[in-house]
Amino acid sequence: MESTFHDWAGAGWADWLFMLGLLGTGLALVAGVALRFAAVAGTAMMALMWIAEWPPAKHLSDGTLSMSTNPFADYHLVYAVVLIALAAAGAGATWGLGKVWARLPFVSRNRWLL
């Protein structure tokens, strides 16, 4: 995947999508709304960032050591698990605007937006 990520790096569309994804996920988490969608989107972003760094690799493409210490307890994976746990626990209804959000007619018709 190295060549793919090198092609994407610095591309305007990739930068914009990445920043909008971070903004959307962050706003959803802070407000406590649409946590299921935010957890899916945030986990996908964390997985792509984990793959882009590829912690299991012992050497980088130029032959130098990657200095990866623990490829499976990487912070990207920890953040993804936290996102899923927040959505599964319904944290938005307890600490955010989740109850108000759930009562909106559009959201009650589209349960995936919870």
Please give the pLDDT value at position 71. Answer: 64
Over residues 61-107, the pLDDT tens digits come to 777 887 776 667 788 889 999 999 999 998 988 888 989 999 999 99
Instruction: Centre a 10 Å sphere on the Cβ of residue 105 and count the other Cβ atoms it contains.
Output: 7
Q: Average pLDDT of 6-17? A: 90
Tokens of 64: 């130098």
More confident residue, 48 or 57: 48
Which residue carries 């050497």 as its tokens?
Answer: 59
Q: What is the DSSP letter of 9?
A: T
